[in-house]
Amino acid sequence: MKIGIVGLPSAGKTSLFRALTHGSATQEGHSGISAGAVPVPDDRFDWLVDHHKPKKATPATVEFVDGPPSMGEETRKFVANFLAQVRSVDALLHLVRAFESDILGAPNPVSDLQRIQDELTLADMQMVETRLERLDKTLHSTKAGVVTPQTIERDLMREIKDWLDAGKLLTAFEFTEDQLKTISGFEFLTLKPAMVVANVAEDEAGKDVSGAAAELRDYCEGNGLPFEALCAKLEAEIAELPEQEHAEYLEAMGLDRPAREKVVREAYRATGMISFFTAGDPEVRAWTIAAGSHVIDAAEKIHSDIARGFIRAEVANFDVVKACGSWEEAKRLGKVELHIKDYVVKDGDVIYIRFKI
């Protein structure tokens, strides 16, 4: 799961990236793009690890991607370049400046966010136009009335173009299942799941959002966008301290836990993914799977041999396991259910697959 951090120049994207990845980041070639995998904080996973004391504990992770620095580049060009480079991400994290900057002045988060959203729409429009031009050229000599996969795609692209030209959002376009298949390779930016993070000033960290940041929160609520607030600079400073100094620093700042934890959790959720667990010796592991997946897909994730030899899945949700005290106890009490291949996995399911090779 890759999540691209997007925002205007100097919004604090790289500060947030540092806070999220602290040390685990890697540079990707000469593109100036950085990526880093981050474990997803999960109390359920921690409980299972605590309980089983396995040799190996593998949490779920998300990968964050940060673009190259803007270096005074013109905003539109910067954003367009950046978007071209992160087109393949699974979700977007909008980082919006909500702190007063020496250079940029008072924050204007709602209009900053809208500006980026406009750029996303523009990038999608350009993609549709480029594709349409190509299709029109290829289909130039095709007789009217002839239907091929390409004419179907062209007609859909025309429809999408008209829709966008009318100022409507692609998210409101009701794609049929076939149409979704047609556009699946396109990576429309405005169709990607998104969340918003307000980057607030140091002295606003950990407090209820107010002022401009509160306007942004209301805007997000009105538009169905998950919203979080943090001070990226502070979070980066905390993340880069030695582990044993975190608690002290947080307390001094009047913070409970690092806000980045919430952001990672929310970003993970925004991708539409859920976690299931395998727990035992030698490994406790949190696995990432798309919501709505069947237990046979979960088996496939674990190992293709396990999927091939699938007999039944033993399943108990984490809450049940915890309430019983352990998996063994849940089993003794008859709370572990047996399921066939098409059982739909739920977030927090602890799964044991019975299989034969």
Ligand X SMILES: Nc1nc2c(ncn2[C@@H]2O[C@H](COP(=O)(O)OP(=O)(O)OP(=O)(O)O)[C@@H](O)[C@H]2O)c(=O)[nH]1
The pattern of x and - marking residues 98 through 127 that bind ligand X according to CB under 6 A reads -x----------------------------
User: Residue 226 CB, nearest distance to Mg ion (Å)?
Assistant: 22
Q: Give yes or no for residue 39 binding ligand X (CB under 6 A).
A: no
* Cα(281)–Cα(279) distance, integer angstroms: 7
**Binding partner of residue 260 among ligand X, Mg ion, none, CB cut-off 5 to 8 Å per kind:** none
Residue 225 three-state SS: coil
- Residues 6 or more apart whose CB falls under 8 angstroms from that of 48 comprise 277, 279, 284, 318, 321, 350
* Cα first-last separation, the chain: 31
**Which residues, numbered 221-280, are part of the site for ligand X (CB under 6 A)?**
231-233
Nearest to 38 by CA among 11, 84, 5, 83: 5
- Cβ contact 270:195 at 8 Å: yes
Q: Is 10 in the site for ligand X (CB under 6 A)?
A: yes
Between 157 and 231, whose beta carbon lies closer to ligand X? 231
Nearest-approach distance from CB 310 to ligand X, in angstroms:
46
Q: Is 31 in the site for Mg ion (CB under 5 A)?
A: no
Q: Near ligand X by CB under 6 A, which window of 4-12, 160-168, 326-334, 345-353?
A: 4-12
CB of 69 to Mg ion, least distance (A): 4
Contact between 69 and Mg ion per CB under 5 A: yes
Q: Which residues contact 195 (CB under 8 A, 6 or more apart)?
A: 91, 92, 93, 94, 225, 226, 227, 228, 266, 267, 270
Nearest CA to 8 out of 159, 158, 87, 117 is that of 117
| Pick 14 or 271: Cβ nearer ligand X | 14
Closer of 10 and 151 to ligand X (Cβ): 10
Q: DSSP readout, 56-100? A: EEE--EEEEEEPPP-TT--HHHHHHHHHHHTTT-SEEEEEEE-S-
Q: Is 70 in the site for ligand X (CB under 6 A)?
A: yes
Q: Which does 92 bind (CB under 5 to 8 A by kind): ligand X, Mg ion, none?
A: none
Q: How far apart are CA 7 and CA 101, in angstroms?
A: 15
Site string for ligand X, 181-220 (x = CB under 6 A): ------------------x-xx------------------
Stretch that binds ligand X, among 6-14, 122-130, 287-295, 337-345 (CB under 6 A): 6-14
Q: Which residue is nearest to Mg ion (CB)?
A: 14
For ligand X, which is the closer residue by CB, 48 or 255?
255
- Could you say which of 5, 11, 14, 63 contacts Mg ion (CB under 5 A)? 14
Burial 190-227 (b: 16+ CB within 10 A, else e): bbbbbbbbbbbbeebbbeebeebbebbbebbeeeebbb
Q: Is the dihedral of CA 74, 76, 81, 87 positive or negative?
A: positive
Closer to ligand X by Cβ: residue 99 or 310: 99
Residues binding ligand X (CB under 6 A): 7, 9-15, 69-70, 99, 199, 201-202, 231-233
